[in-house]
Amino acid sequence: MPNASPTTADPPPAKLLEALNREIDPSETVRWYGRPGEQHYATASMMYAGIFMVLSGFLGIGMILLGIMSLIEYLTGEPRQPGGAPTTAGDVIGFATALVGCIAVFIASPAIAYRWGKRESRRIIYGLTNTRLLSLRLSDKGLAQITSLEPAHPLDITRDEHKDGRGTLKVQRVGASALLTLTGIESPREVDLLIRETFDPPPGSTSSQGVGL
């Protein structure tokens, strides 16, 4: 198992720790590991709901316009194009059904995205070693997807702290596009300092012991 002993109130599941242990090279030393907060990760996932809401909104507007046109054609009995087939009640009902579907997607998107985010957070573990910062996602089939960032001087770390003591860190090398986000982790300030100490130690400093936060 990773040699950073956890003191977290929300320890990662054993299967995530085992997956992290398999990923670590013999030459690496784990200095910290932790998991995203379910509520914070779910909230961050709400941006996907926004995308679906915008798309369903545009589709809904299109369905409304087409439905109005079809209703007018049905009531007047005049086809949209000369010689075209007349609009039937089934056509109007079809547009109405499609509109209801768009409204349902619009309303349900936030709840679906939130539940998906909470479920997804249980599959993720973050780790910090002496050589890299990583995020590991474990699928239901036990397959790992790893995103690693090997920071270098100078570092650009953005820390957003939350009311419950958790926080989100966005880590990247200055001038580089590579970015790794640690969402809703415990003790964000301590992890921030540990990352900086690991990859940008002051002259003459000594490496501290690995910790789990």
pLDDT score of 98: 76
pLDDT score of 23: 94
Listed residue (154, 152, 136) closest to 144, CA to CA:
136
pLDDT score of 20: 93
pLDDT score of 96: 76
| Beta bridge partner(s), residue 27 | none
Listed residue (92, 98, 102, 96) closest to 70, CA to CA:
92
With tokens 């890299």, the residue in question is 132
Per residue of the chain (213 residues), give pLDDT as tens: 455 544 455 678 889 999 999 999 998 999 999 999 887 877 776 666 667 667 767 776 777 777 777 777 767 766 666 655 666 777 777 777 877 777 777 777 777 777 877 888 889 999 999 999 999 999 888 889 999 888 766 788 899 998 888 999 999 876 666 688 999 999 999 999 999 888 875 555 444 444 444
With tokens 């990247």, the residue in question is 172
The answer for residues whose C-beta is within 8 angstroms of residue 33's C-beta and 6 or more apart is: 2, 4, 6, 12, 17, 20, 125, 126, 127, 128, 212
Give yes or no for a contact between 185 and 11, defined as CB atoms under 8 angstroms apart. no
pLDDT score of 146: 93
pLDDT score of 188: 93
Q: Is 36 left (phi over 0), alpha (psi -120 to 50) or beta?
A: beta
pLDDT score of 173: 75
pLDDT score of 206: 45
